[in-house]
Amino acid sequence: MRRREFIKVIAGSAAVWPLAAQAQQTGKVWRIAQVIGGSPETNGHFARALEQGLSKLGYRLGDNLHLVTRYASPQLTGMQDAIRSLIGEIDLLVAWATIGAVAAKNVVGSLLPVVFLSVGAPVEIGLVQSLSHPGGNMTGITFEAATETYGKRLQLLKELLPKLASVAVLAAEGDANVTFAMQSLDKAAPELGVTLRRFGFKPSDDLAAKFDQIEQSHADGLIVIAGALTYVDSKQIAELALSHRLPSCGAFYETVRAGGLVSLGPDIPAMAQQTAVYVDKIIHGAKPGDLPVQQPADYVLHINLQTAKKLGIEVPPSLIARADEVIE
């Protein structure tokens, strides 16, 4: 599949009004933008989840809070360009994914409040001072409940494949998630008797050729590091992993539904609703730096038994019992 770099401005402008007295008294028309790596086809449901979260808080379309959604190439330059085009036109930015949050920090500086979501290790990558006291003008929702989550994903593969010895790690180049994810994997690998080999890729790369390289490495399994690009390509990654008979573990349940073996990660639409609460708080006067960075409210395990059968893997009943969704 050929991937194109693009910046799409979607006039998915929805306007919503807070019912709270403070916003009504000021009469200020809040202008908000959410910037998402990907396209309406791949990530439109995320944009709608934020809109739904705001609606649940009493906001209505067509009043004094304008919400614009922009889709960008899921890499740093594309996200920065999309955000840069909004400066001077908005009062608050919602930045999706680690790469979007890093782009926001690079472009926005201290000009306006930023609420991020689906971000890995915001302290480690320099977005906030601490989770409890972010400081500055950024806060939001992390993607990982802890930096050790990648080690847990590696443990999942080992549980499914007791003889697992060599694991390929697929990671988008330039994504700040990769550093802390690899630290977690590097810590867990020796304890599990596993060696790791990292394979980086860019939007312009041929993923099929990348999987040919992975196959030549004789890896027993695959870990996919979460990020904007790996989400956009999640369906193709799942299909290629299956066609190369690679048991895979990632963070997105969409990958499992497309043929991946197992995933452990947050419920991202639910995370968008958490984000809406923070947007509402800032509209009503809260400072981002005073709002603690939150963890995902829901963390889910998905297993595809159809894929397991095709790969000749017997899934332990104990793992099936722990799963939130089992595809049979």
Q: Report the alpha-carbon distance of residue 289 to residue 112 in Å, rounded.
A: 12
Of the listed ranges 10-19, 46-55, 73-82, the one predicted with least confidence = 10-19
Write down the pLDDT at residue 145.
Answer: 66
Indicate the pTM of the whole model.
Answer: 0.83
> Does the pLDDT of residue 213 top 60, yes or no?
yes
Write down the pLDDT at residue 163.
Answer: 96
Class of domain 7-142+267-297: alpha beta
The yes-or-no answer to whether 7-142+267-297 and 149-266+300-327 have a common fold is yes
Q: Please list the alpha-helical segments (H only) found in 3-61.
A: 21-26, 40-56
Write down the pLDDT at residue 59.
Answer: 81
What is the band of 61 on the pLDDT scale with cuts at 50, 70, 90?
low
CATH for the stretch 149-266+300-327: 3.40.50.2300
CA atoms within 13 A on the CB side of 33: 24
For a pLDDT cut of 90, what percent of the chain falls above it?
72
> Does the pLDDT of residue 212 top 50, yes or no?
yes
Write down the pLDDT at residue 27.
Answer: 65
Write down the pLDDT at residue 124.
Answer: 86
Write down the pLDDT at residue 42.
Answer: 87
Mean pLDDT for 134-147 is 88
Average pLDDT, the chain: 88
Q: pLDDT tens, 267-318?
A: 988 999 999 999 999 999 999 999 999 998 888 999 999 999 999 999 999 9
Write down the pLDDT at residue 62.
Answer: 65
Residue 42, SS3 per DSSP: helix
> Does the pLDDT of residue 72 top 60, yes or no?
yes
DSSP readout, 121-147? Answer: -TTTTTS-S-SS---TTEEEEES-SST
Mean pLDDT for 83-112 is 95
Nearest to 303 by CA among 222, 266, 248: 248
> Does the pLDDT of residue 19 top 80, yes or no?
no
Mean pLDDT for 147-163 is 92
Q: Say if CB 15 and CB 61 are below 8 A apart.
A: yes
Each domain of the chain, given as residue ranges in start order, spans: 7-142+267-297, 149-266+300-327
Residue 86, SS3 per DSSP: coil
Which uninterrupted H or E stretch holds 14? strand 7-16
> Does the pLDDT of residue 7 top 90, yes or no?
no
Q: Report the alpha-carbon distance of residue 262 to residue 161 in Å, rounded.
A: 12
**Which letter does DSSP use for residue 288 in this model?**
G
Nearest to 34 by CA among 110, 107, 86, 105: 86
CA atoms within 13 A on the CB side of 1: 11
Mean pLDDT for 202-229 is 93
Q: Six-digit token pair at 91? A: 């009062």
Q: Say if CB 181 and CB 287 are below 8 A apart.
A: no
Mean pLDDT for 140-150 is 83
